[in-house]
Structure 1
Amino acid sequence: MTGGKRITYKNIGIIANPTKPESAQGIERVLKKLHQYDVSIYIDEESCKLVEKSKCSSYEKVKVVDRLVLPDKVDVILVLGGDGTFLTVAKLVDKKPVPLLGINFGTLGFLTEIPIEKIEECIDKLIAGEFIVENRPVLRVKVVRKNGHILIYRCVNEVAIKRDTLARIIEIDVDADGEYLTTFRGDGVIVATPTGSTAYSLSAGGPILYPTLNAMLLTPICPHTLTMRPLVLKGETCLTVKLKTESENVMVIFDGQEGIELRVGDLIEITRSPYDLLILRDPAKSYFETLREKLKWG
């Protein structure tokens, strides 16, 4: 789908960040604009509570549903919030081929590119089929506990294996496609997608990758050895990560939103998920323009 397929949408979902003061007004603006078109509108219960219930029910096309089932009802989801909200909705979508369109109520907003003042214009373009669908690689992280228990996570940005605040230097063995790669000594290591190259990995000194590249990024966190540098790998690489350090507290953090403790004997397998994240992008705005805008380049 990447690079040019344009689609029109008839069933449109709305999910907003309930903690953002702008969300209520944003939802009202979206509902009012969408009501001008022959579309069905689905909003999750939590977002509907942000506005007066009468305003949701006064639109005959609006259906209020549970957030967990909303992706099953729609062709596209409008995400009102910041990148954190976007990542949360991306987990809801999971394997479903439902594209997301982010409207930025946050600060930086690499994933939620549409500014709040352009909501109405954005909806006009959406209905006219002017947005294109962009495939973004996603990580599948499989954690195999020493006792055999298996946990599966889906990461849009990154998985970070890092020491706890009070822990000392940790050692992490990394294999690539079954071959020993290296032992990272330092505060930890980040495995990021191209989309996540502008998130935690960037703050740790990693490079920026074009977001649709079939690649995987390995970035050390405060390495003890200065020759340890970020490494870009092919997207099909299977990384295997093991903790060598026994006496320190180490966490595995998924997209900065949830985490588990990593213990010696546990195994982490990181691969590209077969299910990409679908993001709607305005073809009139290039990724380079986004970089200039968000990172305050020249």
Structure 2
Amino acid sequence: MTGERQPVFKKVGIVANPTKPESGEGFKRVSKKLLESGVKVFTDEETCRLVGINWCSEFEKIKVIDRLLLPDKVELILVLGGDGTFLTVAKLVDKRPVPILGINFGTLGFLAEITIDEIEECIERVLKGEFVVENRPVLRVKVLRRNGHVSIYRCVNEVAIKRDTLARIIEVEVTAGKDYVTTFRGDGVIVATPTGSTAYSLSAGGPIIYPTLNAMLLTPICPHTLTLRPLVLSGETCLSARLKTESENVMVIFDGQEGIELRVGDTIEITRSPYDLLILRDPNKSYYQTLREKLKWG
């Protein structure tokens, strides 16, 4: 599907960051452009409150529905905010093949790469089918408790196993399939997607990986052994991580947005999800251009 031209979208969802007032003005601009083009617009209550319920109700084609229902109603979701808002919406689509386009009202914005000044022009090009869909690998994380309880999470960027602020060095044993990799001793370990290689993993010293590659990345967090370095693995690898340390506060955190306490004996299984994240992107902007702009490479 990567690189294929897209048909004109007839039903578009818009989700804005409710904590950023400027994204409310962005919502008005985007929705007006879509409505003028004959597109049916869907949004959620939080986004609608940014501009006022009365403003939304003036346009019959703007449907206010529960955010969880958006992926079932639309062909494209526009996200107005930063990468945090983008990640929140990315969890909603999961098994649904609905592409997402991010418009950056945040700061860094690796995922939301369209700028405020480009809104009208980009919407026009999107509706002409000039943007392309890019498949991004996503992690499927299964947490198996020692008591038999199982929880499953979807991670676009990374899953991080890390010690609490006041805890001492922790030990996390990692295997790849049937092969023992090593026991990470330090502040923890990150398992990241190529998309997530420019997030937490990068700040921990990990490499940047081209976002569409079928790969996953193991990055130690402040390792006790300095020769323990980041490791790039095949995306088909089935990783297993088990906490070995007792009497320490350890968290497993998913995309930096939610987390649970990990206990000794618990196991985390990490594989590539069968459902990729679909990102709508401008084919005139290369990934290297994004890196130059976001990381100030010059």
Range of TM-score over shorter length:
over 0.9
4+ residue runs of structure 1 moved beyond 4 angstroms?
A: none
Which runs of 5 or more residues in structure 1 are unaligned? none
Shift of 1:151: 0.3
Give 2:113's aligned residue: 113
1-side partners of 2:90 and 2:272: how far apart?
Answer: 16
| Amino acid paired to 1:141 | V
* Comparing 105-114 and 20-29, the one that deviates more: 20-29
Give 1:101's aligned residue: 101
Task: Kindly provide the CA deviation profile for residues 75-104 of structure 1, in whole angstroms up to 9, marking residues without a partner as x.
Answer: 000000000000000011111100000000
Give 2:237's aligned residue: 237
Give 1:164's aligned residue: 164
Give 1:281's aligned residue: 281
Give 2:60's aligned residue: 60
Give 2:2's aligned residue: 2
Give 1:211's aligned residue: 211
Give 1:189's aligned residue: 189
Secondary structure of the residue aligned to 2:233 is strand
1-side partners of 2:48 and 2:202: how far apart?
Answer: 36
1-side partners of 2:76 and 2:249: how far apart?
Answer: 41
Task: Kindly provide the CA deviation profile for residues 56-90 of structure 1, in whole angstroms up to 9, marking residues without a partner as x.
Answer: 11222111111111111000000000000000000
| Amino acid paired to 2:29 | R
| Amino acid paired to 1:16 | A
Instruction: Trace 1:13-32 onto structure 2 (pairs within 5 A).
Output: 13-32=13-32
2-side partners of 1:5 and 1:229: how far apart?
Answer: 40
Matched, 1:133 2:139: no
Q: Is the 8 A contact 1:42 1:64 kept in 2?
A: yes
Shift of 1:17: 0.4
Shift of 1:5: 3.7
Percent identity over the alignment is 77
Give 2:89's aligned residue: 89
Q: Is the 8 A contact 1:7 1:132 kept in 2?
A: no
Task: Kindly provide the CA deviation profile for residues 211-254 of structure 1, in whole angstroms up to 9, marking residues without a partner as x.
Answer: 00000000000000011000000000000000111121110000
Shift of 1:139: 0.2
2-side partners of 1:68 and 1:81: how far apart?
Answer: 18
| Amino acid paired to 1:188 | G
| Amino acid paired to 1:118 | E
Secondary structure of the residue aligned to 1:296 is coil
Give 1:228's aligned residue: 228
Secondary structure of the residue aligned to 1:246 is coil
Secondary structure of the residue aligned to 1:89 is helix
Give 2:177's aligned residue: 177
Secondary structure of the residue aligned to 1:165 is coil
Q: Is the 8 A contact 1:28 1:55 kept in 2?
A: no
Q: Is the 8 A contact 1:252 1:259 kept in 2?
A: yes
| Amino acid paired to 1:144 | L
Shift of 1:52: 2.5
